Amino acid sequence: MQSKLGHLQLNVQPGNVAFYKELFTFMGWQVIAESEGFLGLADTNGTSLWCISEVKEVSNDYDGPGVNHLGIDVSAQADVDAVSKYLTERGVSLLFETPRHRPDFSGEGDGTYYQVMFETPDRILLEIVYTGPKTA
């Protein structure tokens, strides 16, 4: 049997759908469906992300049971920096002293695990990460 991740659904506040559209299209994802309070995005591998705005008024706690965060791989260390700048320019706080290299995750050798972490307006924890040769 072969399998792969097909899609994820994020339940978001209606007023925050534009945040996800702008962020993910900035990172090269394509809009595949869109209507009021509904957004479908796809990456180059066909994995899709669906933002649905029919949500209950409850708070998300990523340190509680359930999914902790969503990690998005990028192809260059500079991409992490570009997303960090994009977020900072929009007033999004970067968390956990990121962007930074994580030698505890990169293993031995010349590679790196370079990440930025932040919360979306819906308190969904996202990580943008590059793994590969370290470039400064």
Q: How confident is the model at residue 61 (pLDDT cuts 50, 70, 90)?
A: confident
pTM summary value: 0.91
Q: pLDDT band for position 35 (50/70/90)?
A: very high
112 alpha-carbon distance from chain centroid = 19
What's residue 4's pLDDT? 86
If you search the block for the tokens 């994995």, which residue do you land on?
Answer: 47
> What are the structural domains, with CATH classification, of the chain?
1-54 (3.30.720.120), 68-136 (3.10.180.10)
| Mean pLDDT of the 58-85 span | 91
Per-residue model confidence (pLDDT) at position 64 = 85
Is residue 136 predicted with pLDDT exceeding 80? no
Cβ neighbours for 112, distance < 8 A, ≥ 6 positions apart:
77, 101, 102, 103, 106, 130, 131, 132, 133, 134
Mean pLDDT of the chain: 93
- Residues 76-90 have a mean pLDDT of 97
Task: Determine the average pLDDT of the residues in 48-76.
Answer: 89
Which structure tokens are listed for 15?
């007023």
How high is the pLDDT of residue 12?
A: 94
Whole-angstrom distance, CA of residue 135 vs CA of residue 111: 9
